[in-house]
Amino acid sequence: MVENVTVGWQVGADVTDWQLTVESRARRVRADLAALPPAPATEVARKAAEVSLEIVDAALRSADNKWWRSGASWWSGWHIERAWRALHEAEIYLAAADPDLPSRLPGLRARVRMYLEEGDPRRRAIEQADPDRATVVDAMRAAFDASDDAHAAARALRNKLIVISLALFVLNTALGLVGLLKPGLVPTCMPPNPAVPQLLCPTGARAATGWDVWMVQLFGALGATISVVLLLIRRRPDLSPYVLIGYQALVKILLGAALSVVGLLALGAGLVSGIVYVGSQAALLLWAVLFGYAQQVGTRLLDNYADRLMDEVRPLPDRVTVVASKR
């Protein structure tokens, strides 16, 4: 019966990684469905799987030439999550109809271990020597639901990062324009003191200029970029359709630019007088870099949350190995 396999959606030249993964797994499900022997007991599950695969094809074809529709789809992520959920349903129906289910149990157990905690009763049930079909299907559905919910959480976090980035961009631009139009209104110059008897400004001028705020933001972004490099070094590769690291980096850089301005305002106000000494333009810009890097204190919490979330979305193979070795 393998010759009756329906090809389904055809891969194009401009597809993304998640589309290739979903299409490949959908083909496998179609091939396995076609190889099933005809039996009235499995016909309902087979038809349900075929309906789910049609939904997968429709979601993969959902790209539209109209930019506002594709933009709305990208923001909501409905086509990605609909494709994954439908594919998971097809795989569950295949397991329900497969007469050779016992031989597939090692692979199904490995996938369940990815998403269900060790103490979950459904995971413990499927780990038994000879679980029944209903137990396997229930464990698969719970594991896939956890994966799909993690996809939705990753998309929600991505959208929040985009909104935060836009807000920080507007704030930094507004500060820069205010400093450009009314030099000195945002006081980033250090007032005279006994050690430095003249005004000390970021641009090196003896008076406030329109480029002081921009200079401070530039060096603050430089300090934040250093923390971005560290983020890239320690981040493991992931296979999620939602890639967060670029948006995390953007938030860090924009927040570093804003914090550098706030930090120099604190220096100019004398809040740390007697502790911090600024005696030259180089020292002033160095403090801007340090204040920009200081955003890492807050955004490290965001990085840790994003790491945990991405591990839940698409666990790497070594997670399965580690979990299995504990048993």
Could you tell me the residue ranges of all domains in the chain? 17-148, 154-313
The answer to whether the CB of 88 falls within 8 A of the CB of 148 is yes
The more confidently predicted of residues 112 and 1 is 112
- Nearest residue to 300 via CA among 226, 219, 240, 231: 231
Average pLDDT over the chain reads 83
The more confidently predicted of residues 218 and 206 is 218
DSSP 148: H
**Taking each helix axis from N to C terminus, what angle separates 133-181 and 296-313, rounded to the nearest 10 degrees?**
150
pLDDT tens column, 185-198: 999 888 877 666 78
Is residue 314 scored above 70 in pLDDT? Answer: no
Is residue 9 scored above 60 in pLDDT? Answer: no
Q: Which residues contact 274 (CB under 8 A, 6 or more apart)?
A: none
* 29 CB-contact burial (10 Å; exposed 0-12 / middle 13-18 / buried 19+): buried
What is the predicted pLDDT for the residue at 197? 74
Query: Is residue 15 very low, low, confident or very high in pLDDT (cuts 50, 70, 90)?
Result: low
Least confident of 46-60, 216-230, 306-320: 306-320
In the predicted model, what is the mean pLDDT of residues 145-155? 88
Q: Which residues contact 289 (CB under 8 A, 6 or more apart)?
A: 219, 220, 222, 223, 260
Query: Is residue 19 very low, low, confident or very high in pLDDT (cuts 50, 70, 90)?
Result: confident
What is the predicted pLDDT for the residue at 10? 53
Query: Is residue 239 very low, low, confident or very high in pLDDT (cuts 50, 70, 90)?
Result: low
Question: What global pTM score does this model have?
Answer: 0.79
d(CA 97, CA 58) in angstroms, rounded, equals 24
What is the predicted pLDDT for the residue at 251? 95
In the predicted model, what is the mean pLDDT of residues 110-124? 89
Three-state SS at 9 = coil
**Taking each helix axis from N to C terminus, what angle separates 67-76 and 78-97, rounded to the nearest 10 degrees?**
60
In the predicted model, what is the mean pLDDT of residues 158-174? 95
Q: Residues of 203-241 as b/e, b for ≥16 C-beta within 10 angstroms?
A: beeeebbbbbbbbbbbbbbbbbbebbeebeeeeeebebb
Query: Is residue 65 very low, low, confident or very high in pLDDT (cuts 50, 70, 90)?
Result: very low
d(CA 124, CA 109) in angstroms, rounded, equals 10
* 150 CB-contact burial (10 Å; exposed 0-12 / middle 13-18 / buried 19+): buried
